[in-house]
């Protein structure tokens, strides 16, 4: 009987100890905020961002891209790799 109690207590303490070994995520592991690319032209239409109204912002792969209007969103989402490269090239040319 004492053996069963000792074994049960051992399992309980072992389980509790395992729970304490797990750490809560640190603040460095918190969600990373998306980076603004800063493109001045819509990668879909080629129009200057802001001419048709406020820029429409779209987040993809941790970056925020500017589009000229909400209508360009679906085209961007159909081939985000293509349009994100166009937007990044536009932003790079503006920063030269």
- Summarised one tens digit per residue, pLDDT across range 6-54 is 555 555 554 455 444 444 444 444 467 999 999 999 999 999 999 888 8
* Cα separation, 49 vs 94, whole angstroms: 13
The strand order across the sheet containing 35-36 reads 35-36, 63-67, 56-60
Tell me, yes or no, whether 85 lies in a domain.
Answer: yes
Tell me, yes or no, whether 77 lies in a domain.
Answer: yes
Tell me, yes or no, whether 29 lies in a domain.
Answer: no
Tell me, yes or no, whether 30 lies in a domain.
Answer: no
* Cα separation, 24 vs 22, whole angstroms: 7
This prediction has a pTM of 0.65
Tell me, yes or no, whether 12 lies in a domain.
Answer: no
Tell me, yes or no, whether 83 lies in a domain.
Answer: yes
Number of domains in the chain: 1
pLDDT, position 24: 45
Q: Which domain holds residue 39?
A: 35-94
Cα dihedral across residues 82, 90, 48, 32: positive or negative: positive
CA angle (56, 57, 62) in 5-degree steps: 165
């Amino acid at each position: 009987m004492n053996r069963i109690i000792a074994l049960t207590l051992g399992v309980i303490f072992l389980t509790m100890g395992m729970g304490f070994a797990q750490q809560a995520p640190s603040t460095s592991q918190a969600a990373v905020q998306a980076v603004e690319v800063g493109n001045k032209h819509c990668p879909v239409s080629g129009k200057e961002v802001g001419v048709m109204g406020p820029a429409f912002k779209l987040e993809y792969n941790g970056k925020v891209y500017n589009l000229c209007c909400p209508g360009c969103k679906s085209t961007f989402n159909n081939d985000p790799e293509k349009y994100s490269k166009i937007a990044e090239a536009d932003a790079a040319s503006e920063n030269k």
